[in-house]
């Protein structure tokens, strides 16, 4: 397909058709770092806008409203990701409990119809640095030894959080991932009356424990949490935390509150031989002998080590404006650099819905800048993100609890269906980003 990003000459003649006014700046080069929810959203929404179409994650046009004329531009989009496919992260607890769902939740990028387009290319590799002044990024191709450079006009960083196993798989290729998940599942479910202790009663621990119990009811699953309430780190009302506890019990979990893990070590039998069991010791003196211990307590940190230090706060989150552009005081060319999704320093609990929404905002704002560059549009009409209050949707076995400030809390089986469908949100996200529609 020629030179997506090696030079500015457009290699796709069909992209010129219907353009408002081809200019020397075009094709614009958009570099997207990370092909998760945020990254795919910005790529596909910008693709829509540059084709003169309504952005797929924007508000649905009101019935009878006049058709909006959108200026069309040539754009080439390169996405770089460490993985060889899109992983449905919010489904990880279900993928860890079922090989069928594990297989469904990782789709290689070359098998996503929406990305099959002459002006979209996905590179498998790890981003290493970004020079915002020169507008050049470097990445190391998967299994490669030499870093490569990519020049861009617009950059959107959407690399999410570095999460430890087993919150998310660590494999970078689908094939390897399927082994990783299969091995894990067999080790959890292999014993007839296995006792599994999940340590950590945050959202990840609750979902991991409850999916395991729901799909493998023969297991005795214990959820141990160090504090007196589940979800203790989340800025949510007490009633939500209490309801989460009720739903865990409904799902058949044994919940131990005020149990801080001191250590876990292999149990040894005769002649000091390991038996395969694990002794779990809590600081309050309680001891459990389990078949497996799953840690769901590690803190996640943003994948932003490739950005200039000034662009991020002390924890690594990118300082952004409401437009999702980098803060102007932090880097040169900030109007051409965006950060979206979990790495953005913004209010609210990190959610995939927010990441996809930010992708739409960034795409809209980039399209505005294109209009300014090509048509001299005076005032950019930027979409600006407002403060996001704490809100959550949490699947707990066959039920879910959801909370957002205007509506308060709701819970039950219907809430699971409405918020997560039958597959922990996979189909909802897939359809929202229209990943199944051919890109052409
Ligand atoms: C177990 C679990 C359950 C969750 N449940 C829910 C839920 O029910 N509802 C909800 O709204 N949210 C949930 N979340 C949170 C949600 O998954 C995140 O908010 C969402 O994934 C953020 O999207 P993102 O695009 O910012 O990042 P991600 O989806 O993490 O995508 C980042 C991408 O960047 C790539 N990447 C990282 N570093 C590099 C690099 N250096 N070079 C190249 N590529 C890189 C990664 O491989 C990845 O594909 C859950 C999270 C977990 C872990």
Find out whether 378 and 59 touch, Cβ atoms under 8 Å: no
Burial environment of residue 350 by CB neighbours within 10 A (0 to 12, 13 to 18, 19 or more): middle
Residue 249 has a CB neighbour count (10 Å cut-off) of 12
Flag whether pLDDT at 46 surpasses 60.
yes
Indicate which atom in ligand 1 lies nearest the CA of residue 89: 17
Amino acid 192: pLDDT = 64
In whole angstroms, give the CA distance from residue 199 to residue 264: 11
Lowest mean pLDDT among 23-32, 128-137, 419-428: 23-32
In whole angstroms, give the CA distance from residue 362 to residue 354: 12
Amino acid 14: pLDDT = 42
Residue nearest to atom 9 of ligand 1 (CA): 351
Residue nearest to atom 11 of ligand 1 (CA): 351
User: Ligand 1 centroid to 37 CA: how many Å?
Assistant: 7
Encode pLDDT of 247-257 as tens digits.
999 999 999 99
Residues near 440 by beta carbon (within 8 Å), at least 6 away in sequence: 116, 117
Fold of 13-165+300-388: FAD/NAD(P)-binding domain (3.50.50)
Encode pLDDT of 269-318 as tens digits.
888 888 889 999 999 999 999 999 999 997 899 999 999 999 999 999 99
**Which of 177, 355, 385, 404 to mutate to test ligand 1, by most ligand atoms within 8 A of the CB atom?**
355
Burial environment of residue 58 by CB neighbours within 10 A (0 to 12, 13 to 18, 19 or more): middle
User: Ligand 1 centroid to 357 CA: how many Å?
Assistant: 14
In whole angstroms, give the CA distance from residue 165 to residue 183: 13
Q: Binning pLDDT at 50, 70 and 90, where does residue 23 land?
A: low
Amino acid 379: pLDDT = 87
Q: Choose among 75, 104, 204: nearest CA to 421.
A: 104
Encode pLDDT of 119-131 as tens digits.
999 999 999 999 9
Amino acid 313: pLDDT = 97
Ligand 1 site residues, Cβ closer than 6 angstroms = 33-39, 80-83, 89-90, 92-93, 126-127, 158-160, 163, 167-168, 204, 207, 303, 306, 341-342, 350-353, 355, 393
Q: What's phi and psi for 22, nearest 5 deg?
A: -60, 140
In whole angstroms, give the CA distance from residue 293 to residue 393: 26
Q: Binning pLDDT at 50, 70 and 90, where does residue 62 land?
A: confident
User: Ligand 1 centroid to 162 CA: how many Å?
Assistant: 8
Flag whether pLDDT at 195 surpasses 90.
yes
Amino acid 189: pLDDT = 84
Tell me the percentage of the chain whose pLDDT exceeds 90: 83
Q: Binning pLDDT at 50, 70 and 90, where does residue 13 land?
A: very low
Q: What is the average pLDDT across 328-354? A: 95
Q: Binning pLDDT at 50, 70 and 90, where does residue 378 land?
A: confident
Amino acid 6: pLDDT = 63
Flag whether pLDDT at 366 surpasses 50.
yes
| HEC per residue, the chain | CCCCCCCCCCCCHHHHCCCCCCCCCCCEEEEEECCCHHHHHHHHHHHHHHCCCCCCCCCCCCCCCCCCCCCCCCEEEEEEECCCEEECHHHHHHHCCCHHHHHHCEEEHHHCHHHCCCCEEEEEEEEEEEECCCCEEEEEECCCCCCEEEECCEEEECCCEECCCCCCCCCCCHHHHHHHHHHHHHHHHCCCCCEEEEECCCHHHHHHHHHHHHHCCCCEEEEECCCCCCCCCCCCCHHHHHHHHHHHHHCCCEEECCCCEEEEEEEECHHHCEEEEEEEEECCCCEEEECEEEECCCCCEECCCCCCHHHECCCCCECECCCCEECCCCCCCHHHEEECHHHECCCCCCCHHHHHHHHHHHHHHHHHHHHHHHHCCCCCCCCCCCCCCCCEEEEECCEEEEEECCCEEEEEHHHHHHHHCCCCCHHHHHHHCCCCCCCC
Q: Name the residue with higher pLDDT: 318 or 378.
A: 318
Amino acid 1: pLDDT = 42
Amino acid 3: pLDDT = 61
Flag whether pLDDT at 145 surpasses 90.
yes
Q: Choose among 256, 263, 255, 268: nearest CA to 282.
A: 263
Same fold, 13-165+300-388 and 194-297: yes
User: Ligand 1 centroid to 158 CA: how many Å?
Assistant: 9
Q: Binning pLDDT at 50, 70 and 90, where does residue 166 land?
A: confident
Amino acid 133: pLDDT = 96
Flag whether pLDDT at 24 surpasses 90.
no
**CA dist 350 → 161, 164, 274, 381 (Å):** 10, 16, 40, 26
Residue nearest to atom 49 of ligand 1 (CA): 36
Q: Name the residue with higher pLDDT: 91 or 4.
A: 91
Q: Binning pLDDT at 50, 70 and 90, where does residue 12 land?
A: very low
Amino acid 274: pLDDT = 87
Flag whether pLDDT at 419 surpasses 90.
yes
**Which of 44, 81, 399 to mutate to test ligand 1, by most ligand atoms within 8 A of the CB atom?**
81
Tokens of 399: 């039920």
Tokens of 192: 């007839």
**Which of 352, 359, 388 to mutate to test ligand 1, by most ligand atoms within 8 A of the CB atom?**
352
For the chain, give the mean pLDDT.
Answer: 93
User: Ligand 1 centroid to 343 CA: how many Å?
Assistant: 9
- Enumerate the domain spans of the chain: 13-165+300-388, 194-297
Lowest mean pLDDT among 53-67, 382-396, 400-414: 53-67
Find out whether 54 and 68 touch, Cβ atoms under 8 Å: yes
Q: What is the average pLDDT across 145-152? A: 97
Fold of 194-297: FAD/NAD(P)-binding domain (3.50.50)
User: Ligand 1 centroid to 243 CA: how many Å?
Assistant: 26
Indicate which atom in ligand 1 lies nearest the CA of residue 139: 42
């Amino acid at each position: 397909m020629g030179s997506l990003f090696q030079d500015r000459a457009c290699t796709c003649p069909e992209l010129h058709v219907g353009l408002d006014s081809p200019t020397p700046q075009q094709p614009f080069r958009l570099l997207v770092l990370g092909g998760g929810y945020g990254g795919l959203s910005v790529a596909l929404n910008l693709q829509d806008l540059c084709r003169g179409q309504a952005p797929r994650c924007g508000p649905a046009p009101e019935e009878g409203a006049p058709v909006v004329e959108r200026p069309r531009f040539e754009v080439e989009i390169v996405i770089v990701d460490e993985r060889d496919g899109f992983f449905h992260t919010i489904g990880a607890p279900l993928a860890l409990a079922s090989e069928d769902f594990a297989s469904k939740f990782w789709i290689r990028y070359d098998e996503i119809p929406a990305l099959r387009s002459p002006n979209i290319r996905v590179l498998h590799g790890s981003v290493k640095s970004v020079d915002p002044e020169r507008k050049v990024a470097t990445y190391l191709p998967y299994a490669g030894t030499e870093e490569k450079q990519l020049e861009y006009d617009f950059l959107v960083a959407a690399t999410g959080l570095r999460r430890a196993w087993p919150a998310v798989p660590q494999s970078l290729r689908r094939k390897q991932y399927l082994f990783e998940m299969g091995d894990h599942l067999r080790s959890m479910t292999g014993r007839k009356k296995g006792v599994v202790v999940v340590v950590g009663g945050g959202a990840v621990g609750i979902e991991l424990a409850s999916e395991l119990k729901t799909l493998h009811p023969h297991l005795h699953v214990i959820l141990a949490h160090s504090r007196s309430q589940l979800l203790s780190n989340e800025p949510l009302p007490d009633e939500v935390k209490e309801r989460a506890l009720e739903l865990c019990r409904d799902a058949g979990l044994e919940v131990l509150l005020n149990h801080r893990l001191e250590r876990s070590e292999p149990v040894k039998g005769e002649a000091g031989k390991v038996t395969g069991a694990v002794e779990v010791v809590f600081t309050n003196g309680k001891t459990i002998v389990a078949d497996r211990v799953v840690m769901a307590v590690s803190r996640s940190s943003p994948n932003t080590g490739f950005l200039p230090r000034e662009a991020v706060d002390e924890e690594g989150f990118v300082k952004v404006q409401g437009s999702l552009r980098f803060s102007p005081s932090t880097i040169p060319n900030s109007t051409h650099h965006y950060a979206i999704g979990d790495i953005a320093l913004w209010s609210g609990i990190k959610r995939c819905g927010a990441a996809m929404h930010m992708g739409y905002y960034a795409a809209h704002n980039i399209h505005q800048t294109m209009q300014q560059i090509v048509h001299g549009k005076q005032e950019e009409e930027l979409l600006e993100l407002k403060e996001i209050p704490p809100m959550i949707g949490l699947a707990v076995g066959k039920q879910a609890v959801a909370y957002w400030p205007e509506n308060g809390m709701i819970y039950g089986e219907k809430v699971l269906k409405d918020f997560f469908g039958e597959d922990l949100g996979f189909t909802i996200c897939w359809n929202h980003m229209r990943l199944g529609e051919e890109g052409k």
